[in-house]
A = this chain, B = another copy of it.
């Protein structure tokens, strides 16, 4: 006996309409014959009567059934056969598939930024345009020679880029890796997408940091993963709870961003790194390490990645140029064991057959060029300046109301508002004041936290931006107190 599937993403009334259409097409109900009453169908399918009313309305709109006042609903004599051509019901198609819509707060911010260029942007998690090495990339591009399908069109990505990356990872990150363990992706987002789609199954449990940018990635939910949280404090994620989570929920994978975490900016403490690797090792639990910010370290040395530890066989390592150089290139990578790389690259063929060789050529040349180190030096200097300006402005304009730790690298400052405040009220007020940030709840924190990406606004806009933000915070705090 057919019943609607309550776990399906298709609304129940549409499932019922589809079912009835099927029965009509099969001849179960022939043209002109009466259909069961709404009450009877509601019982049969174990739904509210209003759901049946909706389903009938749907079928009526298609001309499949007809009702006249005081008479039973009947199968239409036409059955849609004689109708003119109507467009397909595109909105119904658009409700299909596994992808959930993106987080509403983020969409709201994006639309506001697109509509009003005078908004000072602490929300977009990337560098300001003037911090991109635009001249250098143009210089390299002018000297690039496009070669269609060079070197056998490798599934793993442009071979010279993978070789350049192997040298880069050795030199800057202390990771020993062969070019064949590297898969080039369209930014780190595609790397995460491939991992969730190819190595995990819907229903699998994963552990994530809280707060964490993964909690804002609708993609994790679209993949049907159950996310369990490991709390992050000022020394980074706390690994103690991992074993308990694993026992309780059979965690299949752990996602971390140890160095200058997004959104909190924290650096995972040495001792914790050791404990995390040890625990994951004993549990044979794969760690996905996202390492996009390490090279921005404001001190002397970049903190080492988990992957560089001698026993980091558990680690899938993800990197990208988007946060430290050029987001316009969309170059990311995964370092993984051969069996994993094979699986991911085979699946990627079904998704997009890989991507253009041109940005890969440019990235390969850029990272091995004389431009790279001076670019990183300039980037660090500018980021320190922006961080200092931001921290100072926060102390000046909001010193009595907020609390934060000054980050030692990365692009973000994580700021807690001490009095009670509503996130959505605060965001609306900030956008009205023409300043944008991301509410911490997007990343899974409680209310009253803000992620401020100081890397994003131009240096001279930071002080006015924080001043606008302060006005918004004060308004929102007053509103919450009333």
Contacts and interface: CB of A to CB of B under 8 A. Distances in A.
Interface stretch (A31-39, A50-58, A214-222): A214-222
Interface in A248-288: 248, 250, 252-253, 277-278, 280-286
Contacts of A91: 339
Contacts of A71: none
A337 interface: yes
A406 interface: no
Contact of A21 (B18, B87, B250, B343): B250
A439 to B, nearest CB: 19
Given A85-B311, A86-B281, A352-B330, A97 B200 contact: yes
A285 B99 contact: no
A311 B26 CA distance: 29
Interface stretch (A186-194, A379-387, A394-402): A186-194
A342 B148 contact: no
Contacts of A331: 356
B96 A198 contact: yes
Interface stretch (A40-48, A133-141, A461-469): A133-141
Among A253, A353, A362, the most chain B Cβ lie within 10 Å of the Cβ of A353
A354 B330 contact: yes
A336 B342 CA distance: 34
Given A86-B284, A187-B352, A340 B129 contact: no
Given A250-B22, A282-B85, A350-B99, A148 B199 contact: no
Given A87-B313, A99-B350, A219-B350, A146 B134 contact: yes
Contacts of A250: 18, 21-22, 25
A315 to B, nearest CB: 9
Given A87-B337, A99-B197, A186-B355, 18 more contacts: A25-B247, A25-B248, A80-B284, A83-B282, A85-B281, A91-B339, A93-B286, A96-B204, A114-B152, A132-B148, A138-B146, A185-B352, A186-B352, A187-B353, A189-B351, A193-B352, A330-B352, A331-B356
Contacts of A286: 88, 90, 93
A9 interface: yes
B18 A350 contact: no
A138 B149 contact: no
Nearest to A113: B152
Interface residues of A, number: 104
Contacts of A362: 358
Interface string A110-138: 00011000000000000001001010011
Contacts of A350: 99, 102, 189, 193, 217-219, 222
A26 to B, nearest CB: 8
- Number of identical monomers bound together in the oligomeric complex: 2
Contacts of A97: 197-201, 343, 347
Given A89-B284, A129-B149, A134-B147, A356 B328 contact: yes
Contacts of A145: 138
A166 interface: no
A466 B355 CA distance: 32
A144 interface: yes
Contact of A200 (B96, B190, B284): B96
14 contacts: A62-B284, A85-B314, A88-B285, A94-B339, A99-B347, A134-B148, A138-B146, A149-B327, A189-B350, A189-B353, A190-B353, A218-B350, A328-B357, A329-B358
A349 interface: yes
Nearest to A186: B352
A146 B148 CA distance: 20
Given A80-B282, A99-B198, A356-B356, A146 B152 contact: no
B62 A328 contact: no
A132 B356 CA distance: 14
A458 interface: no
A84 B283 CA distance: 10
A197 B98 contact: yes
Contact of A141 (B26, B144, B152): B144
Contact of A327 (B148, B186, B351): B148
Contacts of A86: 281, 284
B146 A137 contact: yes
